[in-house]
Amino acid sequence: MAIINKGTAFSNGEQLSASKLNSLIDAATFGTDSVDNASTIVNANGAITVRDSGVTAAKLATGSVTTNKIVDANVTFAKLTDVIDDDTMDTATNTTLATSESIKAYVDEGGGFTPSTYNGEESVTLPNGLIMKFGSKSVSGDSTGSVSFATAFPGGIVQVQLTIETDIPLNNDAGLSATSQTVSGFTIQNGAAGTETISWMAIGYK
């Protein structure tokens, strides 16, 4: 609440003027009939306190609240009801702002973009929802081999990449292809003359 210090008494017939009010709040601050018994309190020291309920937009004259009349110390974090300090951002909404500290903490902790830890399993999920699956399979020469994923891609499959792990003579035909790709698996076609160990990587999504 704003406080107006009690100044010198008014003489008979003297009009209200800026010099009679506190330097931070002048006469132009208040509209007609804005300061009354219902909107003010006089304490034991004679200071007049304006109630919060007594200061409304209708009672403030245009241009009365200026930058130099707002003291930084009076604008506390508690009064910024649309600003959150939440390191996990669990309370974030489309109408709130966040403190720089909470944003930094959120980013430093991964910000929800930390992929699952890879411990040698077939599948790992990336931050954007992509899922990568890995493995290898031995396929006879000029033959096919089926690969079934341990768990299917929840949403769909994007592509499969194949690599022959063993050395192949340069003049050998070593065509590879991944056919019949589904969320559950695919088929490897090995065009090399002999049996090959083939590494595969499949990419899908949630």
Classify residue 139 as exposed, middle or buried by CB count within 10 Å of its CB (0-12, 13-18, 19+): buried
pLDDT per residue over 6-36, tens digit each? 445 556 666 655 555 443 344 344 444 455 5
Q: Locate CATH 2.60.40.3940 in the chain.
A: 123-205
What pLDDT does residue 30 have? 47
- Label each residue of 109-170 as H, E or C: CCCCCCCCCCCCCCEEECCCCEEEEEEEEEECCCEEEEEECCCCCCCEEEEEEEEECCCCCC
What six digits make up the tokens of 118?
């890879």
What pLDDT does residue 143 have? 93
pTM of this prediction?
0.47
Examine the pLDDT at 203 and tell me if it is beyond 60.
yes
Ranges 13-22, 64-73, 119-128, most confident:
119-128
Q: Quick one: average pLDDT of 129-148?
A: 93
- Give CA–CA dist 123/56, Å, rounded: 61
Classify residue 169 as exposed, middle or buried by CB count within 10 Å of its CB (0-12, 13-18, 19+): exposed
Q: Amino acid identity of 193?
A: A
What pLDDT does residue 204 have? 96
- In the chain, the percentage of residues whose pLDDT exceeds 70 is 60
Is CATH 2.40.128.120 what the domain over 123-205 is classified as, yes or no?
A: no
Higher-confidence residue of 179 and 50: namely 179
CA-to-CA separations, 170 to 56, 112, 193, in angstroms, rounded:
86, 47, 12
Strand-strand pairing, 97-98 and 83-84: parallel
Ranges 63-77, 97-111, 144-158, most confident:
144-158
Q: Quick one: average pLDDT of 67-86?
A: 75
